[in-house]
Amino acid sequence: MLRTKNELRDIDLNVILPWLGAEEKADRREQHRRYWRTDKGLVSVYQGRKFSIDFTSLGGGGAIDLVMALLDYSFIGALKWLTEHFGDKRIDVDEAETVQITEPITTVHYVDQRDNFAEAKARMMHYLIGTRKLSPELVNAGYEQGFIYPNGQGGVVFVHYDAQKKAIGCTVRGVFSDFKQVRNRNGSWFIIGSWNADKVYIFESPIDLLSYCTLKGYDPKSLYLSLAGNSISQILRPLLQGKMIVRCTDNPEHESSVEARTASERLGAELRSLARAGCFRDDLPVSDKDWNDVLVNGK
């Protein structure tokens, strides 16, 4: 387990960057150097230990320097962020085999607001549980297991995983605005559950996925998958082939454009063709456009 300051400093920077909302520029990967897109600019990482940010004076060695540079944290703030994310209760994204809800925490712990990360965490909890009405158990479990976290810049990060269960992208949602950004490589999704599950629930956004689980409960034997801006790609098709599939996407009757309704119909037809014979069904929201609207409006 990663406990001491030196151990936290020595974490491979390429492991930390996805947790900071970075997206790897895979076409520029070199033997000892990798490149990542971030809000601060293109980050170059050498041998997992040293980094620099293009066209800035920012750079350094070690995980603490990286977090300080990308989140504008103090030394203590960066150390607390690393402890929160890579301490005893965190999953190493290169070692995690599944993303599963196991033993949800039933109480939301609002932390000391004097710390930058504490403020971001409290804002995230208020947004997801207070505004979006998501289950505290689900939100806390997602935070404890590392696939939901605040980015320190007024947003919530939902981590995307690929078919090998590695974190390679994310969806970022604004807390104070309608800001939404998908930092995603084709072939990664926000998921809860195991790829070995026989039954798969398909959603458009991570918040809709969590809203559905809040309303209808979470089945640990099933896979819940948010497309998060992706289509049904060549990578995803074989992973869904022959399974029981439940489409839980937006209700096309509430879509304002013909293009959106056509896309919804096309998605339904494709999912039906992938499902095992007789094992496809729609579970679309009736009263509202999406499952979070249903949850918030109490219908």
**Crossing angle between the packed helical segments 63-71 and 75-86, to the nearest 10 degrees:** 110
236 is a domain residue: yes
pLDDT at 40 over 90: no
pLDDT interval class at 3 (50, 70, 90):
low
Q: What's 189's DSSP letter?
A: B
Residue 234 lies in a domain: yes
When mean pLDDT is compared across 161-170, 238-247, 273-282, the lowest value belongs to 161-170
Which residue among 90, 122, 137 closes a domain? 90
Angle at 48 between CA 47 and CA 54, to 5 degrees: 90
Q: Tokens in use for 101?
A: 């809800």
Per the CB < 8 A criterion, the answer to whether 157 and 142 are in contact is no
Residue tagged 């099933």 (tokens): 222
Q: Return d(Cα 154, Cα 120) in angstroms, integer.
A: 7
Q: Which helix (H) or strand (E) holds 183?
A: strand 180-183
Q: How many domains does the chain have?
A: 2
**Residue 139 backbone phi and psi in degrees, to 5:** -65, -45
Q: Is residue 31 part of a domain?
A: yes
Domain boundary among 90, 122, 138: 90
Among 77-81, 181-185, 261-265, 281-285, whose mean pLDDT is lowest? Answer: 181-185
Residue 276 in this model has a pLDDT that exceeds 70: yes
Q: Choose the final residue of a domain: 34, 62, 90.
A: 90
Gap between the Cα atoms of 259 and 198, Å rounded: 32
**Residue 110 belongs to some domain of the structure:** no
Q: Is 138 helix (H, G, I), strand (E, B) or coil?
A: helix
Residue 262 located in a structural domain: yes
Residue 51 has pLDDT above 70, yes or no: yes
* Enclosing domain of residue 60: 1-90
What pLDDT shows up at residue 135? 94
* CATH number of residue 20's parent domain: 3.90.580
Identify whether residues 275 and 176 lie together within a single domain. yes
Confidence of residue 190 (pLDDT cuts 50, 70, 90): very high
pLDDT on residue 90: 39
Closest CA to 117 of 149, 91, 140, 93: 149
Q: Is residue 269 assigned to a domain? A: yes
Task: Give percent of the chain above pLDDT 90.
Answer: 33
Identity of the residue numbered 200: V
pLDDT at 282: 95
Report yes or no on 26 lying in a domain. yes
Q: Per-residue pLDDT averaged across 127-140, rounded? A: 93
pLDDT for the residue 104: 30
Secondary structure of residue 214 in the 3-state scheme: helix
Phi, psi of 204 (to 5 degrees): -85, -55
Nearest to 65 by CA among 50, 47, 55: 50
Q: What is the mean pLDDT of the chain?
A: 80
- Considering the domain architecture, whether residues 182 and 291 belong to the same structural domain is answered as yes
193-239 tens-digit pLDDT: 999 999 999 999 999 999 999 999 999 999 999 998 677 888 899 99
Distance, in Å, from the CA atom of 191 to the CA atom of 170, rounded to the nearest integer, reads 11
CATH number of the domain encompassing residue 176: 3.40.1360
DSSP designation for 222: E
Q: Are residues 195 and 286 in the same domain?
A: yes
pLDDT in tens, 76-116: 778 888 887 776 533 333 333 333 333 332 222 222 333 45
Q: Which two tokens stand for residue 215?
A: 């309303």
Query: Strand, coil or helix: what is 125?
Result: helix
Tell me if 207 is assigned to some domain: yes
The single residue listed with the structure tokens 């070995």 is 196
List b or e across 106-115, with b for residues whose CB sees 16 or more CB atoms inside 10 angstroms: eebeeeeeeb
Mean pLDDT, to the nearest integer, of 37-42?
Answer: 82
Tokens 């920077």 correspond to 13
To the nearest 10 degrees (0 to 180), the angle between helices 136-145 and 206-216 is 130
Residue 42: the pLDDT is 86
